Every structure is written in C-alpha cells, then in structure tokens.
Amino acid sequence: MRANVYFNLHTHLWSMRERSTGLVERHARVVVSALPVVFAVQPAGHARVVETGQKNVHAFVRGDWLTPYDTEPDAWAAFAASLDDLVPVSYNPHRGPSFYRKDTGQDITEAKSVIMLAPVHGPPRVLCQL
C-alpha cells in the first residue's frame, strides 16, 4: 500500500492514509516496510502546532510498500530487538521540524526499512534501519 502512516491519538493505532485518495484506509497495531521510507513533516502543519499548541496530522512515514499487521506488538518487538542495526526514531514538533534518532538526536529524513509498533500499554515506537 502506498501510504502516509501516522500515530492516531484517538485510536492509539497507526493510521494508514492512502496517498492517491488522501483517505485513511486502515488502522493497524504494527506497520512494517522492508523497502525504503521517507520521514515527512509538512512545514505549515508544524508551524501551526508550534504557534497554537493544537495537535494536527502533519508528520508521517511515507512508503510505497507499507504492510499492516493486527497482531500484538510483543512478537514484533522481539523480532526487532534481534536486529542489531535498528535505530529508535521519534518526532516532537517542539524540538524541531524533523524526525530524529532517539539515541543520538541526529535529524533523519529516510530509512532503508521501518517497523512501527503501537503497544496496548505504552507509547508508540518506531525503529528503522538507516
């Protein structure tokens, strides 16, 4: 699925918005891509969040082959933990207008692959291979 994926604060799942239609086609607990992805931030949306303090969808992971899974994320977390080169990624509009590596703070815009987890208890996590 060619989609923009973002964490939905209402459902606590990943929302997959089809790029051609702009419609949310699916919600999933886990989203994986073994192909390259782009970490995109829309500048106007970012500026609006900083200015007003109101959250809006303006940052997402964009990929051409993103696969949703509805399984519990613990199995995927165990799988991801076995890969040495996965890097935790985050986004905070008050930190700046880009995604960043949680381990070094370095800004990033793309990755070779990604796994996005939405645990039932706890915050969402994004791990990628750079």
130: Cα separation from own chain's centroid: 14
Residues 26-43 as b or e (16 or more Cβ within 10 Å = b): bbbbbbbbeebbebbbee
85, 129 contact by CB (below 8 A): yes
Please give the average per-residue pLDDT across 67-77, as a whole number: 63
pTM confidence score: 0.84
Q: What is the reported pLDDT for 49? A: 86
pLDDT at 3 over 60: yes
**In sequence order, what are the beta bridge partners of 129?**
86, 113
pLDDT at 55: 85
pLDDT one-digit tens code per residue, 11-63? 999 999 998 898 999 999 888 888 899 999 999 888 888 888 888 888 999 98
CA distances from 34 to 49, 57, 66, 85, 130 (A): 31, 24, 8, 14, 12
- CA angle in degrees (0–180, nearest 5) for 88-70-99: 25
Predicted pLDDT of residue 82: 52
pLDDT tens digits along 106-122 = 999 999 988 898 888 88
Chain segment 76-104, per-residue pLDDT in tens = 555 555 566 789 999 999 888 999 999 99
